[in-house]
Amino acid sequence: MITLKEVQSKSDLKAFVKFPFKIYKDNPYWVPPIISQEMNSFNKKENPVFEDAAARLFLAYKGKEIVGRIAAIINWAEVKESKLKKMRFGWFDFVDDPEVSKTLLDEVATIGKANNLDYMEGPVGFSNLDKVGVMTEGFESKSTMVTWYNAAYYQKHYEAYGMTIEKGYIESQFSFSNVNPDFFVKAQALIKRRYNLRALNFKKTSEVMPYVDQMFDLFNTTYAKLSSFVAISDIQKAYFKKKFISFINPEYIKFVMDDDDNMIAFAIVMPSFADALQKMKGKLFPFGFTHLLHAKKHSKNVVFYLIGVTPEFQNKGIHAIIFDEYYRTFKEKGIENCFRTPELDDNEAIHNLWKHFDPKITKRRKTYRKDLK
């Protein structure tokens, strides 16, 4: 018999966060989160997303043993402003027992119906900046710090519950040695002259900070048309600025400005922290910081996290400017491999953007939905 316990205490939350460590303890492809950061994500006093969202966390037990977990999430900004009456769920992990997954999903459905929502979708986080999708291919490819890893059996549990595919995502990688700069070097010079544009590069995080709010405003503009988009509030901007920007190498942040100092494009790349996180095993102390700092300075792999161009300048070759800047940075640092985070598989515009680099698909992901009415 499976019983559910709602997370109420700090010890419950720690058990919730650490449950995947049990399932994937000896899996060489799973990249563990930092336990303290993961716990802070659910701290209502720490994470400003809770101004607009609510989350209830549940642990599934078989006897005294934890056998599953799930986060039931309602983003009220999405429901009220975007008119999407969606029940979200994420952080969904479980042993290969259909009774466990069904019990957890039933609880999410119950909460969704009680709040008069139309359907449930997952696995997703609070917003577009969170992890997304259950892996359906690529189980023998190492994960990244910004994606969930899961066992192959997860997919059949979603389907056994009667869920249908809502969205598909792909992840890919390409070797930096594959990059031929000829196609964007000439183009970027022409585009800069035509539109009076300039690229901004940074050596210090303090140089980046004055532009961060403008970057998040542009993010809100450029990603607004994506399904399930939830805009970042001013309070969330301050939170992300404090939590993430200092964690990213300043030379991996690129902005493109017009002659009136308006930002028309941005891109964020991160060094790969996957190996460091595996060595840390979820702990910052006593040596976790050392592993992170070493990866930040010396990782030869990078992860493309976000790229955005203001609508007026889309389809005008602005990405050539961004690629030219990264090419020079990566060449100087001896970068070997470039990884792309999940992108919607029907987003032809973004796929065409990368085709010159001969990317190879390494993973596929899906979110699943079920109607509640």
Task: Please list the pLDDT of the chain residue by residue as tens digits (373 residues).
Answer: 999 999 999 999 999 999 999 999 999 999 999 999 999 999 999 999 999 999 999 999 999 999 999 999 999 999 998 889 999 999 999 999 999 999 999 999 999 999 999 999 999 999 888 999 999 999 999 999 999 999 999 999 999 999 999 999 999 999 999 888 888 888 999 999 999 999 999 999 999 999 999 999 999 998 877 766 778 888 888 888 887 888 899 999 999 999 999 999 999 999 999 999 999 999 998 888 899 999 999 999 999 999 999 999 988 999 999 999 999 999 999 999 999 999 999 888 788 878 778 899 999 999 999 999 8
**Residue 373 domain-assigned?**
no
**Residue 97 domain-assigned?**
yes
Domain boundary among 170, 193, 228: 170
Domain boundary among 170, 185, 208: 170
**Residue 43 domain-assigned?**
yes
**Residue 69 domain-assigned?**
yes
**Residue 370 domain-assigned?**
no
Domain that holds residue 22: 2-170
What global pTM score does this model have?
0.94
318 in the same domain as 219: yes
188 in the same domain as 158: no
Angle at 115 between CA 110 and CA 166, to 5 degrees: 70
Domain boundary among 122, 140, 170: 170
53 in the same domain as 144: yes
193 in the same domain as 75: no
**Structural domain count of the chain:** 2
93 in the same domain as 80: yes
215 in the same domain as 121: no
**Residue 372 domain-assigned?**
no
181 in the same domain as 158: no
338 in the same domain as 221: yes
